[in-house]
Chain A
Amino acid sequence: MNEKQLIEQCLRNDRSAQKVLYQTYAPKMYAVCMRYASKRVEADDILQEAFIKVFKYLPTFKFQGSFEGWIRKIVVNTALDHIKRYAEPFDDIDENLSESVFIEPDQMLSGIGTQELFTLIQQLPEGKRIIFNLYVFEGYSHKEIAEMLGISVMTSKGQFSKAKKILQEKLLKIKANVL
């Protein structure tokens, strides 16, 4: 059964097809939720809320573009709504931070587990975490992020730079502890 047939089956109220659709996309989307949420239980809530929306708006999907992309957009928007409900206002960062924050990838660094990396992102403050995710994983520009979140482009850039700095420090700390 291809993607189109699966969606059509779902729209015929076929519960098993709906479960297959969920099982196909939920693991990828749960990883997205884990990056946006500050803790696992919050990621659970976002995933649940997002998939309820996916099934609610499924009849509106016109088979134009990627279905996975369509679901991902719903998940990201749900995550933003969810986080913004509890997030503190974005603080403007005046300091002129550099665009690039580098780290030397060595054997030790590549040995850090993905769960640990997820945790590092989750530990970022809400605003920085959102901007980091939108810029790095969703591919939005700072201008688009600024429009989406109602902040200035400079704020978006500053928050992103700060987020990278925090992550760099944490990675270096992990390295130092291991060594």
Chain B
Amino acid sequence: MKPNAPIDVADFFKQQLHYQEITPPENIWSNIESEIPTYATKPTWSWWIFNSIALVVVFSIATYLWIQNHSTSSKPKATLAYKQNTAIDMKKPSYIESPVYEQNTEQNNLPKKNTNISLPLQVQQTVYYIEATTTGKLDKIEILDSLNKIKKSIINPVPNNYGFYEMNIDELKPGRYTIVFYRKDGSIVHRHETFQ
């Protein structure tokens, strides 16, 4: 194009203004800024990793607890069941009623704490119970193994809320034991038990 060749008015304006930039007044941004919406942010990769780990942990704990609960509830517990009392003084002709082992499948029969309901008939084997009324007040209880070695000794035992002496037999090996009750009146009662 020659320097002074006529040019269309539209082209002239386009050449002069098309790539022009004008700085807008400062206050426009502050007006816009207050109107910008808050966007719902997309989850990032770190969000996914964190939540995946959290989900795995929660699932693992839930599975572990379920397995534990399931295995303890489905497995029948060996329990001691007593009929009506009674431990008898060894000095007199007497008998000590041996406990009867039963398979407890009914969880509802387990005793509940701090309730004054009737005494439970069945208790778990890890704790050995003897009704206090059958032995009277005691100075000491000893558990002897088949070689007459003292495996456990409880001085001045105190009955529980239900009127039972409790002895933890968890650490004892399965076998036949003799339980010796030393009464306050000086008499001694023996009792033979087989713990499984």
Expressed in whole angstroms, the minimum distance between the Cβ of B107 and any Cβ of chain A is 54
Task: Flag A133-145 by CB within 8 Å of B: 1 or 0 each.
Answer: 0011100000000
Q: What is the interface of chain B mostly: helix, strand, loop, or mixed?
A: loop
Given A15-B33, A47-B28, A118-B17, are A104 and B4 neighbors across the interface (CB < 8 Å)?
yes
Task: Flag A8-19 by CB within 8 Å of B: 1 or 0 each.
Answer: 000111010011
Q: With an 8 A cutoff between CB atoms, is A90 at the interface?
A: no
Query: From residue 14 to 36 of chain B, which have CB atoms closer than 8 A to chain A?
Result: 14, 16-18, 20-25, 28-29, 31-33, 35-36
* Cβ–Cβ < 8 Å partners of A52 in chain B: 32, 35-36
Would B9 and A31 count as touching, CB distance under 8 A? no
Would B39 and A12 count as touching, CB distance under 8 A? yes
Contact of B10 among A56, A112, A132 (CB under 8 A): A132
Expressed in whole angstroms, the minimum distance between the Cβ of B67 and any Cβ of chain A is 42
* Cβ–Cβ < 8 Å partners of B4 in chain A: 104-106
Would A100 and B8 count as touching, CB distance under 8 A? yes
Report the nearest A residue to B24, measured CB to CB.
A30
Q: With an 8 A cutoff between CB atoms, is B95 at the interface?
A: no
CA distance A30 to B22 in the complex (A): 6
CA distance A34 to B25 in the complex (A): 13
Q: What is the interface of chain A mostly: helix, strand, loop, or mixed?
A: helix
Contact of A13 among B6, B14, B28, B41 (CB under 8 A): B41
CA distance A132 to B29 in the complex (A): 29
Would A30 and B23 count as touching, CB distance under 8 A? yes
For chain B, the bracket of interface size reads 20 to 34
Would B7 and A48 count as touching, CB distance under 8 A? no
Would A102 and B9 count as touching, CB distance under 8 A? yes
Contact of A103 among B6, B17, B23 (CB under 8 A): B6
Report 22 cross-chain contacts, Cβ distance below 8 Å, ordered by A residue: A13-B38, A18-B36, A26-B23, A30-B22, A31-B21, A44-B24, A44-B28, A47-B24, A100-B8, A101-B8, A102-B6, A102-B7, A102-B8, A103-B6, A104-B4, A105-B3, A105-B7, A106-B4, A121-B13, A132-B13, A136-B10, A167-B13
List residues of B whose CB falls within 8 A of some A CB: 3-10, 12-14, 16-18, 20-25, 28-29, 31-33, 35-39, 41-42
List residues of A whose CB falls within 8 A of some B CB: 11-13, 15, 18-19, 22-23, 26-28, 30-31, 34-35, 44, 47-48, 51-52, 55-56, 58-59, 100-106, 109, 112, 114, 117-118, 121, 132, 135-137, 160, 164, 167-168, 171
